[in-house]
Structure 1
Amino acid sequence: MSDITQIRARIETADVDRAATDAWIYLAIAGREFCLDPGSGNGYFERGVKTCFVLGEQGGSDGGEAGFNNVPVEDAQWNDPRTPQLDTEDLNLAPAYIRFATASSNPGWCVERVKVTVIARGGEQHHFDNYRLREVKDNRQLWLHERYGERLFLYNVTSD
């Protein structure tokens, strides 16, 4: 088991009408929730936008994923997997998910894709994904809203 030093959450908002949101978006992983964006309206969840949120150590590779803009999370010192220090042993002890929390006038959010990479000391990587959103198709998008579901669960796909 190793200390987690960085989490990279690649999130793609669908390119469909009214897909954008300025709601609060959270990532739960390793038994903890992190705020990726506090409803700031900064454009990270606009229609068709691809954003890679970086938690913990800054820098590093985007994993070869074209089109993603790397951004640190707001309030980075409080959204850091090193405070308290999380360990790779924690990854399978609690569910991993993205959570939508309505805090704005935007009624929902359409997610095209969510992929999370957890990087441990020494470079060990663990990958999380949702199998149903792997292919880009009309029926492979998910609308999140308080009236029809606020979470997208992710699976540990490190063995893929």
Structure 2
Amino acid sequence: MADITQIRAKIETADENGAGTDAWVYLGIAGREFCLNSGNGDDFERAAKTCFVLGKEDTSDDGDTFNKVTVSDAEWNDPRTPQLDTEDLDRYPAYIRFVEAGDNPPWCIERVRISVHAGGEKHHFDNLRLEKKAENRRIWLHTRYGERLFLHRVAS
């Protein structure tokens, strides 16, 4: 059991017509929900690749093409308040949740990958049905077709 210091949520919106959204998006993990929002309004636009950082600030480079952002209201979206630990990762389901808002509600997800940093270790969560890019490997979220994408622990 180790204290969770940081969570990174790498989210790719599909590159197709109507894929972007103005909806609210939440990450549920370790028994809490976190709001994934940078405050700039285009986190989930068509073809967006955003890495949301929750908790401990980090200037390291993952060597990928994701736009790394700290979530808005960071002090309230922090896995250290209250302190979560790795034991919580297996007690509760991990998921992405969509809440309709704005003029462009549906959202097409290309890929979601979560990394949880704790005690020098990383724990990874994914939905492997979205692993390979293909038309039938995307998922649309909307109040009429489903609002959650569940994730499970995967090897790094």
How would you bin the TM-score normalised by the shorter chain?
Answer: over 0.9
Aligned counterpart, 2:116: 118
Q: In structure 1, what is the Cα distance between the partners aligned to 2:91 and 2:143?
A: 26
Equivalent positions of 1:30-41 (< 5 A) are 30-37=30-37
Matches within 5 A, 1:7-156: 7-37=7-37, 42-64=41-63, 66-121=64-119, 123-156=120-153
Task: Measure how far apart 1:60 and its partner are.
Answer: 4.5
Write the letter of the residue equivalent to 1:139: N
Question: What does the per-residue CA deviation read over 1:13-67, in whole Å, with 9 as the maximum and x for residues that have no partner?
Answer: 00000000011000000010000128x5621111001000000001153544x21
Amino acid at match of 1:83: T
Residue type of the partner of 1:28?
A: G
Deviations 1:84-108 (A, max 9, x none): 0000000010100000001222130
The whole-number CA distance in structure 2 between the counterparts of 1:133 and 1:19 is: 15
Looking at structure 1, the residues matched to 89 and 106 of structure 2 have their Cα atoms a distance apart, in angstroms, of 28
Aligned partner letter, 1:110: C
Unaligned runs of 5+ in 1: none
Q: Deviations over 1:70-127 (max 9, x none)?
A: 1000100000000000000000101000000012221300000000000003x11100
Runs of at least 4 residues off by over 4 Å = none
Contact 2:22 2:105 in 1 (8 A): no
Find the aligned partners of 1:117 and 1:136 in 2 and give their Cα distance: 20
Matched AA of 1:91: L
RMSD: 1.4
Unmatched runs of 5 consecutive residues or more in structure 2? none
CA separation of 1:140 and 1:62: change in aligned 2, threshold 3 A: farther
Equivalent pair of 1:22/1:41 in contact (CA under 8 Å):
no
Figure out how many residues of one structure are paired with residues of the other and give that number. 156
Seq. identity, %:
64
TM-score, normalised via structure 1 length? 0.93
Contact 1:128/1:155 (8 A) holds in 2: yes
CA distance in 2, matches of 1:119, 1:44: 22
Equivalent residue letter for 1:101: V
Cα distance in 2 for residues equivalent to 1:103 and 1:31: 24
1:113-149 per-position Cα deviation (integer Å, ceiling 9, x unaligned): 000000003x111000001000000110000000100
